[in-house]
Chain A
Amino acid sequence: MENTHSAPAVVPVNTVSCIPLGSKMSKAKKVIEEAREINNPELDLFDKGISTFEEMPGLLNMLNITRITLSHNKIKDVPPGLANLTNLEILNLANNHIEELPLSLSSLPKLRILNLSMNRLNGLPRGFGAFPVLEVLDLTYNNLNENSLPGNFFMIETLRALYLSDNDFEYLPPDIKNLKNLQILALRENDLIELPKEIGELSRLRELHVQGNRLTILPPEIGNLDMASNKSVFKFEGNDWVTPIRDQLQLGIGHLMDYLKSETYRVLYNRFSTNKPKIPNSCIDKSKKVSRIR
């Protein structure tokens, strides 16, 4: 009641409802109504101060919608009914306060791009890997680790880009090899101690970000990847590489790739895998991460 009192002049009498209408909320409503009038299938609702889907009445009935951008809001809960929007291709929920996702999300039949970066996800719902056509999945800056992925996570065969930077992974499951179409894998600033050799099977990979982890050695299979071409990017800084790898990186990626394929490295790697180098401590203080806020 205090809210309605603070801005009585802005609200016309005939639209007064039992929900308190602040100026930001009415903006969200306005965008939706405008879109409905001109049958616009793309909704821009970023930075509208939205904290719940209830502030966007009728949104879940707009079945023609193909894109919703809700970044920079304060959304905590995603309603299961969002899965009704069967024409949705792009869903952008970056920089919100989402802690949990509905199970139904992965049934969106046309969803190609899903941005959940900068949220507070501690896990993903069961069956999350069931997306039929998902191509880009951005989970940057959350609180995920290898134990918070559901069993079918690596079944999203259509995935082209997977962003897992700024999370808490210590290991990457070997099932990563199932993502046959993966071109981009971002694992910057996790707690990775080692990479699975199965990454070497991702024949289409052309971007690999592993900066700021706790890596010391690389599986020789990484040498199978085409990381030395000018169309590829391999980001490796901020790890505690063993001296031979560090030396090769100094010379360039091409040198590293040749070295990983060499017999010399194979011998060295076998020695390291029986007699593991000391695991470095986590160098990043993640306690200040906004995603940690409870």
Chain B
Amino acid sequence: MPIFKDESPPIPTVGEVADSFLLKRRSQTKEQILSSTYHRYDSYDNVALDNIDENSVPKFIPKNNLTRLTNMSRDNMICSKCGEGFEPQEKIVNSTGQLWHQQCFVCAQCFREFRDGVFYEFDGRKYCEHDFQVLFAPCCNKCGEFIIGRVIKAMNASWHPNCFRCEMCSEELADTGFIKNGGRALCHECNAKVKARGLGKYICHKCHAMIDDQPLKFRGEVYHPYHFNCTTCGVELDSNAREVRNRSGFAKNDMNELYCLRCHDKMGVPICGACRRPIEERVVTALGKHWHVEHFACAKCEKPFFGHRHYEKKGLAYCETHYHQLFGNLCFVCNQVINGDVFTALNKAWCVHHFACSICDQKMNQKTKFYECDLKPACKKCYEKFPTEFRRRLRRQHEASHKKATTPVPS
């Protein structure tokens, strides 16, 4: 029995990308950045021996604070970088208790002297400001600039303290703390608002608590009604309170005042003829009543007129289409509203173009004599071509109905 053996070559194991030395170093340095040291030194003049307090960064050490190296023999001194001694007349740089040749006291990256004597030390090496930032300083997630000093670490990124703000109201969050809400950093207040909206509720603009019952809208904000009292009678308000624009035509709402429903109704605000509620905005006056613009509508289709022409009939208003449909000014042939002259006959109406014989479709006018069959017009020529038997019946029927019409109805 053959035994199958896995003879495929072994798959080499590859370290995770995060294991790479470079990345590791980078991630370590990021964490150490806040504790890395920042120095200013002064030298070039001569050897100075002074311990700079590493904890107080940045610190500027004035020139005259440097002490001359007097009690040390030049022969014992070696450069911290190259390990060589110093020439008798050679300038010695002293920083943080260590000595350097002037040409050795340079940026570990660009090998240039430190501009303005400022350098950054990290991992035992010294860097000029530019190279230090490029190599180690974090970038702000908002403005993209390097961050020196206080770094805010939040939302998986770094920020300048005044770049890290609430995404809704732009309030600085560095000292107040923040709440992560759907991938956004929000201040406590905005987070409450978002939460309330999610529940279909509002946050009171005054006490910042959620409004569980009906909110009261006032000057463009929402409130608990109980924060206010009626302007007239002083009673505590409920959600039925009315906001009244005090000066008509005054566009801003900061003159608005609140009234309880009772006082409001006594103020003579027009009442809508349809919904019986007061009209605070545009008033339509028609049919002897006042209406909300959106409540003045066709009695048939209930679509508001919004300023379009309406037709009145028996105390009701209709749109053009339904007025004609209901009160009969649609042409029997084209079924369109008749503009201009109307032919009215046989319980129907026709526009001038379509008043014609129903059999031969030839146009007729006021003078044309026509016969009637089921309230359809037939010109004389056509009528005479009807089957004789049919004509006889029609004639008999006509005579009968005529006789009936002339018979007095008993009362």
Query: Which residues of A approach B to under 8 Å, CB–CB?
Result: 44, 46-47, 67, 69, 71-72, 90, 92, 94-95, 112-113, 115, 117-118, 135-136, 138, 140-141, 160-161, 163, 165-166, 184, 186, 188-189, 206-207, 209, 211-212, 231-233, 237-238, 250-252, 284, 288-290
Contacts and interface: CB of A to CB of B under 8 A. Distances in A.
A22 to B, nearest CB: 20
Interface stretch (B14-22, B190-198, B211-219, B383-391): B383-391
By secondary structure, the B interface counts as loop
Interface in B360-411: 360-362, 373-376, 382, 385-387, 389-390, 393, 397, 400-401, 404, 409-410
B335 A140 contact: no
Contact of B358 (A138, A189, A207): A138
Contacts of A189: 393
A141 B397 contact: no
Among the interface residues B335, B359, B401, which one has the most CB atoms of the partner chain A within 10 A? B359
A233 B375 contact: yes
B328 interface: yes
Contact of A289 (B389, B401, B410): B389
B327 interface: yes
Nearest to A231: B328
Contact of B374 (A46, A135, A165): A165
A95 B381 CA distance: 13
B333 interface: yes
A282 to B, nearest CB: 14
Contact of B360 (A69, A166, A212): A69
Sort chain B's interface into a size bin.
20 to 34
A71 B390 contact: no
Nearest to A287: B389
B400 A237 contact: yes
B264 to A, nearest CB: 42
Given A112-B335, A118-B390, A140-B374, 4 more contacts: A69-B360, A141-B390, A238-B400, A252-B409
A290 B362 CA distance: 25
A67 B375 contact: no
A288 B389 contact: yes
A135 B335 contact: yes
A23 to B, nearest CB: 19
B363 to A, nearest CB: 11
Contacts of B386: 95, 118
B374 A163 contact: yes
Contacts of A231: 327-328, 347
Contacts of B347: 206-207, 231-233
A118 B387 contact: yes
A120 to B, nearest CB: 11
B361 A44 contact: yes
In order of increasing CB-CB distance, the 10 nearest A-B pairs are A290-B387, A186-B374, A69-B361, A46-B360, A288-B389, A94-B359, A233-B347, A71-B359, A72-B385, A165-B374
A251 B358 contact: no
Nearest to B404: A237
A40 B277 CA distance: 59
A211 B360 contact: no
Contacts of B361: 44, 46, 67, 69, 71, 90, 92
A136 B361 CA distance: 14
A175 B45 CA distance: 115
Given A44-B361, A233-B347, A72 B382 contact: yes
B400 A290 contact: no
A94 B376 CA distance: 13
Contacts of A90: 361
A205 to B, nearest CB: 12
Contacts of B333: 113
B409 A211 contact: no
Nearest to B347: A233
Contacts of A163: 374, 376
Centre residue among B361, B362, B387 by max chain A CB count within 10 A: B361
22 contacts: A44-B360, A46-B360, A46-B361, A69-B361, A72-B359, A95-B382, A95-B386, A115-B359, A117-B359, A138-B376, A141-B390, A163-B376, A188-B374, A209-B374, A212-B397, A231-B327, A231-B347, A233-B347, A237-B397, A238-B400, A250-B410, A251-B409
